[in-house]
Amino acid sequence: MENLLAAVRDQIPALREGSTAENTLSAGTEAAETDTAKQDSNPGPGAERGQTESKEQGTEEDQKDGTQKDETQKDGMEITEPEQTETGITEPAAGESASTAEPEAPQSVPEETIETGGAPREILYPEADTIQETISPDLLADQQALLNRFFVVDPNTSVLPGEIDGSTLLGKDLTLPENAEGPQILIYHTHSQETFADSRPGERADTVIGLGDDLQELLEKQYGYEVLHITEAFDMKEGCLERSRAYNYAEPVIAAALEEHPSIQVVIDLHRDGVNGSKRLVTEINGKPTAQIMFFNGLSRTKESGELTSLPNPYQAENLAFSFQMEYEAEQYYPGFSRCIYLKGYRYNLHLRPRSVLLEVGAQTNTVEEVKNAMGPFSDILHKVLSGKSPASGG
């Protein structure tokens, strides 16, 4: 059995193209850059859609989904803002949080059980235990090099000196306490209506909500976490798609769930990105076509307005560390799986817990199979961070 598992692990691809994206650090507020209006009606997580910022600036949703980004090169891949490709569904924007635009046979895994805390579990995904690409300590110590390698900074925000520091980001303890009672992880979808290239109309399994079901099952059955999955449609009002205030509608519901379940320490807002229709965000992991992922963080800061004091996030540093530690694990164990960490202004409801993340899985051009295949490696890197047992993390 060990030989079979070793054979599976050996199939993990190793190389990723070098990063070509150049991001520039900015210590202060620079002249505001005007984004061109998007054609897409489907707002992506790139701009906070739905949290009131001020009367002058409107809502975060307005800021994010009402602007279109230029394509940005990152690790050899183009990241673009979403365009509308489905009737009545707005595709997510790729750089902004990538949510305004919106496509083989599964590898068999040996069946056996592993004892964890006395409870057997079925192996649903072959966890990676071999580092494929080592990240140099010199890179972690160079803020600009680190920024260029792992991040994309939206043109309308800025990164402050010292904000992206490798040792600080990796040094934050984000492990979860063992034997916690109650759910530890919350999954929800600000944009519940996002679908994929071959999604069947009316089939929950083929939507981003169905993707959340798959992630919940993996986290519960393979890793033993208790997961709460909220499937409320925050982007639907009176039977119509309405994303202009989806983040506003989601916040009180998620806050109430966290108050009811104080045991929840991890919050995942699961999306799919929106890209130019000719692009497909796909790689190969364990011999299977797998959608690439992207982490998204809001900095509550824009070049036009500076610090958004009306949208405070006391957990911004922890949010960044959470995304970076998962990016760090992905880069070493699954090179090419994660596109980058996208940094934009506003907040995106990431202020509700320190371990909060907005995750983009593939885009509207990926198939349902490809995005479902991404849940295995993502759940693995998430567990590596939450357990602190990854060799890459020194655990």
pLDDT tens per residue across span 383-393:
999 999 765 55
Q: What percent of the chain has pLDDT over 90?
A: 64
Asked whether residue 229 is domain-assigned, the answer is yes
Transcribe 301-315 into DSSP letters.
EETTTEE-TTS--TT
Instruction: Tell if the pTM clears 0.85, that is, is over it.
Output: no
Q: pLDDT tens digit string along 10-24?
A: 443 433 333 333 343
β-pairing verdict for 58-59 and 72-74: unpaired
Q: pLDDT tens digit string along 106-120?
A: 222 332 322 333 344
Q: Given this model, what pLDDT does residue 268 score?
A: 98
Q: How much is the average pLDDT of 268-282? A: 95
Q: Distance (Å, rounded) from C-alpha 97 to C-alpha 66?
A: 13
297 token code pair: 């963080």
Asked whether residue 304 is domain-assigned, the answer is yes
Q: Which domain holds residue 358?
A: 55-103+134-393
Q: Given this model, what pLDDT does residue 13 score?
A: 40
Q: Given this model, what pLDDT does residue 12 score?
A: 39
CA angle 369, 374, 375 (to 5 degrees): 105
Whether residue 152 contacts residue 74, with contact meaning beta carbons closer than 8 Å, is answered with yes
Q: Distance (Å, rounded) from C-alpha 177 to C-alpha 333?
A: 24
Select from 40, 132, 96, 92 the least CA-distant residue to 345.
96
Q: pLDDT tens digit string along 148-173?
A: 999 999 999 999 999 999 999 999 99
Give CA 23 to chain center in angstroms.
20
Give CA 120 to chain center in angstroms.
30
3-state helix, strand and coil shares in percent for the chain, rounded to the nearest 5: 25, 20, 50
Q: Given this model, what pLDDT does residue 354 score?
A: 98
Asked whether residue 199 is domain-assigned, the answer is yes
Q: Given this model, what pLDDT does residue 392 score?
A: 57
Q: How confident is the model at residue 62 (pLDDT cuts 50, 70, 90)?
A: very low
Select from 83, 103, 58 the least CA-distant residue to 282.
103
The number of folded domains in the chain is 1
Q: Distance (Å, rounded) from C-alpha 309 to C-alpha 155?
A: 20
Asked whether residue 389 is domain-assigned, the answer is yes
Asked whether residue 84 is domain-assigned, the answer is yes
Whether residue 128 contacts residue 285, with contact meaning beta carbons closer than 8 Å, is answered with no
Q: What percent of the chain has pLDDT over 70?
A: 67
Q: Amino acid identity of 251?
A: E
Select from 185, 97, 201, 114 the least CA-distant residue to 378.
185
Q: Given this model, what pLDDT does residue 45 score?
A: 40
Asked whether residue 124 is domain-assigned, the answer is no
β-pairing verdict for 293-298 and 288-291: unpaired
CA distances 246 to 44, 45, 141, 271, Å, are 10, 10, 38, 13
Q: Which of 124-138, 267-281, 282-296 has the lowest mean pLDDT?
A: 124-138
Q: CATH number of the domain that 236 lies in?
A: 3.40.630.40
Whether residue 47 contacts residue 61, with contact meaning beta carbons closer than 8 Å, is answered with yes
Q: Is the pLDDT of residue 7 over 60?
A: no
Residue scoring higher pLDDT (328 or 180): 328
Q: Given this model, what pLDDT does residue 117 score?
A: 38
Q: Given this model, what pLDDT does residue 122 score?
A: 56
User: What's the mean pLDDT when you consider all of the chain?
Assistant: 76
Asked whether residue 86 is domain-assigned, the answer is yes
181 token code pair: 């009672």
* Number of alpha helices (DSSP H) and beta strands (DSSP E) in the chain: 10, 19
Q: Which of 64-73, 253-262, 375-384 has the lowest mean pLDDT?
A: 64-73
Q: Is the pLDDT of residue 220 over 90?
A: yes
For residue 282, the cross-strand partners are 291
Select from 107, 106, 105, 120 the least CA-distant residue to 5.
107
Burial label, 31 (beta-carbon count in 10 A; 0-12, 13-18, 19+): exposed
Asked whether residue 180 is domain-assigned, the answer is yes
Q: How confident is the model at residue 197 (pLDDT cuts 50, 70, 90)?
A: very high
CA distances 208 to 51, 248, 359, Å, are 22, 19, 11
